[in-house]
Amino acid sequence: MKVIVVKNASELGKQAFDLLAKAVDEGAKTLGLATGSSPVELYQEMVASQLDFSQMTSVNLDEYVGLSPENPQSYHYFMNQHLFQYKPFKRSYLPDGQAKDIQAECSRYNQILADNPVDLQVLGIRQNGHIAFNEPGTPFDSVTHEVALTESTIKANARFFDSIDEVPKSAICMGIANIMAAKEIILLAKGESKAKAIKAMVEGPVTTDVPASVLQKHPNVTVIADQAAASLLK
């Protein structure tokens, strides 16, 4: 696990873009993408670049159950706003949060991932050490599944909604085994609130109590953290 510490979010985006551009230059066909605040600066760099993604595939980590793609809080909407409207891919896959049969949708998404092996996966991390919506306790061999969001995650997401009652209570999410199948992983972290999670992920034991700690077992992971997020590392 390689750790790069940067001064600020802008530098984080540039460092992440350099790795992504290198992967594309070396023939990457499928990018695994994330939502939330962590990858925003990376997407800004992608939009501003000369890179052409029109012959590539993207697969996203997760989507809220119950939200339509047109809902401003859906991850479909987020990806379109921050990236896809400016840099379209040949194919872009996200879980269908409105699927009538959630288990069938999870199976469909697992097949999409099998058909489109991820060359480079972008991740963020939450304060409790979860990756995507894989909360503490998620088995390392998990594949795409419906996740009941924890109270802390619902509270963390409430700032994006008019009230906490509007926050979805579950999501469809790639499993940890799906994430670990990527050839290369970049994990992005900003802010002091992520410092404990970064320390536990990088320096702590590999445990389902800190889902991100499993990345210690991956052969090609780069953690890019600003100084605040990396402040507890030895």
Reply yes or no on whether 80 is catalytic: no
**C-alpha dihedral sign at 202, 203, 206, 209:** negative
215: number of CA atoms within 13 Å, CB side? Answer: 35
**Is 116 tagged catalytic?**
no
Catalytic residue among 41, 45, 60, 62: 62
Q: Which listed residue (41, 105, 119, 135) is catalytic?
A: 135
- Number of neighbours of residue 193 by Cβ within 10 angstroms: 13
User: Cα separation of 54 and 16, whole Å?
Assistant: 20
Q: Of 116, 128, 134, 178, which is the active-site residue?
A: 128
Q: Given 119, 130, 134, 145, which residue is catalytic?
A: 130
Name residue, tokens 């992967």.
23
For the question of residue 62 being annotated catalytic, the response is yes
Residue 135 is among the residues annotated as catalytic for this protein: yes
Reduced to 3 states, what is the DSSP secondary structure of residue 54?
coil
- Please state, as a whole number, how many other Cβ atoms lie within 10 Å of the Cβ of residue 65: 22
Which residues are tagged catalytic?
62, 128, 130, 135
